[in-house]
């Protein structure tokens, strides 16, 4: 069945325009193929998110019992040095692993979420894959092991990628309000 055109509207564009003016045409622009440019997160925003994440990392390291108790160390003082080294390694790796799991599941960390930052694929802007989250987690180790030098890469490249972002081919984008207001999303 052929749809009747409105009188005086010869082409489909005019029909759509007439429908839009009269409230009869609706288009879901959220599902469109139009890609907006990514706003890369600045070094200061990323550093602020890392500081927020460091708070909960500290809670894990300080309050979750890792390693031997003080009584155990006093009972076997010869194992003191090994216990401290093991505790430091575990205490540093557990928060990084928990962060990697959060990246894989949520696509962001609590600090980045609080600041409306997201981690996405650098080429497509789509949410990162579990593989990319794993690579990014492994990339955190050299970023931290170089006394934070891996994080300074953000200052020297156009897409503001740190070492672990380059390893995983991810970028951190800012989804916060452009005008700087604190309105909720």
Instruction: Provide the token pair at 162.
Output: 């740190």
Using DSSP, state whether 182 is helix, strand or coil.
Answer: coil
pLDDT on residue 185: 46
Question: pLDDT for 14-44, tens place per residue?
Answer: 555 555 555 554 444 444 454 567 899 999 9
Provide the pLDDT confidence category of residue 144 given band limits of 50, 70 and 90: confident
Instruction: Provide the token pair at 94.
Output: 């557990």
User: Which has the higher per-residue pLDDT, 34 or 180?
Assistant: 180
pLDDT on residue 122: 93
Question: pLDDT for 80-107, tens place per residue?
Answer: 777 777 777 777 788 888 889 999 999 8
Examine the pLDDT at 163 and tell me if it is beyond 90: yes
Question: pLDDT for 34-78, tens place per residue?
Answer: 456 789 999 999 999 999 998 988 887 777 666 667 777 777 777
Candidates 157, 159, 125, 127; CA nearest to 36 is: 125
Query: If you compute the radius of gyration of the chain from its CA atoms, what whole number of angstroms results?
Result: 25
Tell me the C-alpha to C-alpha distance, in Å, between residue 139 and each of 40, 44, 124, 158, 167.
19, 20, 20, 19, 6
Question: By the 8 A CB rule, do 154 and 183 touch?
Answer: no
Tell me the C-alpha to C-alpha distance, in Å, between residue 159 and each of 35, 39, 42, 115, 151.
17, 9, 10, 19, 13
Examine the pLDDT at 9 and tell me if it is beyond 60: no
Within 70-162, residue ranges assigned H as helices are 70-75, 80-106, 110-114, 130-145, 149-152
Counting other chains too, the contacts that 142-145 makes at CB distance below 8 Å and 24 or more residues apart are 144/92, 144/96
How many CA within 13 A on the CB side of residue 150?
17
Q: What is the mean pLDDT of residues 120-144?
A: 92
């Amino acid at each position: 069945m052929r749809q009747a055109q409105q009188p005086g509207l010869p082409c489909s564009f005019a029909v759509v325009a007439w429908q839009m003016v009269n409230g009869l045409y609706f288009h879901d622009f959220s599902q469109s193929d139009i890609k907006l440019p990514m706003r890369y997160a600045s070094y200061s925003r990323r550093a602020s998110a890392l500081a927020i994440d460091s708070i909960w990392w500290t809670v894990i390291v300080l309050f979750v019992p890792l390693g031997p108790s003080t009584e155990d160390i006093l009972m076997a003082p010869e194992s003191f040095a090994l216990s401290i080294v093991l505790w430091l390694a575990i205490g540093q790796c557990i928060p990084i692993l928990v962060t990697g799991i959060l990246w894989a599941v949520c696509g962001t960390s609590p600090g980045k979420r609080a600041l409306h930052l997201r981690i996405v694929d650098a080429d497509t802007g789509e949410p990162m894959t579990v593989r990319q989250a794993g690579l990014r987690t492994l990339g955190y180790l050299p970023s931290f092991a170089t006394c934070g030098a891996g994080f300074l890469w953000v200052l020297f490249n156009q897409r503001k990628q740190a070492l672990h972002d380059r390893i995983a081919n991810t970028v951190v984008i800012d989804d916060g309000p452009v005008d700087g207001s604190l309105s909720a999303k």
